[in-house]
Structure 1
Amino acid sequence: MALTKIEFAVQMTCDSCERDVRNSLDNVDGVKNIEIDLKSGSVVVDTTLSADEVFKKLEQSGKKVVLKGYGNLSGVVILDTGKKSVKGVVRFVQQTPNICIIDGTVDGLNPGKHQISVHECGDLSEGCSSVGSYFNPYTNGSRSVYGNIGCVNAESNGRAAFRIDDNVIKLSEIIGRSFVISDEKNNRLACGIIARSAGLFQNPKKICACDGISLWDEKSQPKPSL
């Protein structure tokens, strides 16, 4: 897998905090380099792991953690349309001209295999039924259908956490289109529109301008029910 940089904000106040954070990632397979800035609360990791895997390791330090940036050219989709019990976040990082990293975590699934795909329309007016067919702008020798990415596996707890280094998808071609996760019978369970997101060092947010809540308070705010 391609090595990429992921930036996290970690709530640190002292040298001891910094040591705890570093210890949480030291000697972890797939983590190649760790840069910690105590003053800014920034932790940048070079890794072949998914964002979810690194996030969990950082949380073992006992500190609050928020993902802030991923790669240089990035996109994100929030899976919040479709079956109410299925929710997730999937990120796309154009790591090289020929590799797009697809890194996601989806909860509320039945255990087993699920299909992930990019569809031609960014239209959720009728839920996941209005996103159109697989996005397939041209025939590619390495995959018969451009948007048909493949399968991911949900564990017994209903979570599918995955990282795929895809050599077909180009982020610039899928912004504004839809991402769908389906069951083995091709029933569309959840979907969302792919949007441009913050890359590495592009998210300086400390306080939310809309409500004045700090980054850390915002993380612990209860989410509205759907």
Structure 2
Amino acid sequence: MTSTTVQFLVEMTCDSCVESVKKVLENVDGVKIVDIDLAKSSVVVESSLPILDVQEKLETTGRPVAIKGYDGSMAAVSILEAGDEKIQGVIRFIQVNPNTCIIDGTIDGLNPGNHNIAIHECGDLSTGCASVGKMFVCDSRNKDYGDLGKIVAEKNGRATFRKENNIVKLADVIGRSLVVSSKLNGLPPILLSCGIIARSAGLFQNPKTICACDGTTIWDEASKPNSKSSL
């Protein structure tokens, strides 16, 4: 599995904070600490694990954690905001090289079992998931271009996944929609939830710590469900 490098903002005030962060990440399979900068409250991690898993490890220190950026030629995020209100999730896309796009996400509120995620043609949520169009086909030679495959929700309704896709080019799908669907008894897919795929910050490209409009700190925003400030 291709690893990705992610910059986290972790509230640290002293050297013991740094040691605490190091300790929770040491000897975790699939995780390599690239850099910890106390002055910038920055923790850069290279990992093949789902991003949420790494974030939750950092949060065990008791410190607020926010995601600042991703290493790659391009990054994007889709926040599920239309469809079934009980379904919430964040799906991140990282184009780590010209031939590999990592799709990393966590979705809550699903019925246990198999579901499907796909890229659809339109970034139009004006009538919910009914206006996202058909599944996106960028390459006429590959009719399944937009099909990102199966995800599995556990008994608690959560699906956490990390997919390595060698077909999708992120530049072609920004502005379109990510759709979660369910298929039953051979019937056409039921579109459950969807969100627009929007470009997000690359590594060290997000300097934001305070919102200029209302003074909200990134820690305030990171504590809100589906917050866009740290995506």
Superposed pair shares fold, TM > 0.5? yes
Pairwise TM-score range, normalised by the shorter structure: over 0.9
Contact 1:139 1:145 in 2 (8 A): no
Structure 2 match to 1:167:
166
Structure 1 match to 2:57:
57
Find the aligned partners of 2:48 and 2:171 in 1 and give their Cα distance: 22
Structure 1 match to 2:130:
129
Contact 2:70 2:203 in 1 (8 A): yes
Structure 2 match to 1:35:
35
CA separation of 1:220 and 1:148: change in aligned 2, threshold 3 A: closer
1:81, distance to aligned residue in structure 2 (A): 0.5
Greater displacement, 154-163 / 36-45:
154-163
Structure 2 match to 1:194:
197
Find the aligned partners of 1:125 and 1:28 in 2 and give their Cα distance: 43
Identity of aligned residues (%): 54
3-state secondary structure, aligned to 2:219? helix
Find the aligned partners of 1:117 and 1:220 in 2 and give their Cα distance: 28
1:222, distance to aligned residue in structure 2 (A): 7.8
The unaligned stretches of length 5 or more in structure 1 are: none
TM-score (norm 1): 0.94
- Which of structure 1's runs of 4+ aligned residues deviate more than 4 A? 221-224
CA separation of 1:222 and 1:210: change in aligned 2, threshold 3 A: farther
1:52, distance to aligned residue in structure 2 (A): 0.5
The unaligned stretches of length 5 or more in structure 2 are: none
Find the aligned partners of 2:165 and 2:216 in 1 and give their Cα distance: 37
CA separation of 1:137 and 1:223: change in aligned 2, threshold 3 A: closer
Matched letter for residue 156 of structure 1? K
TM-score (norm 2): 0.92
Structure 2 match to 1:151:
150
Q: Cα RMSD (Å) of the superposition?
A: 1.6
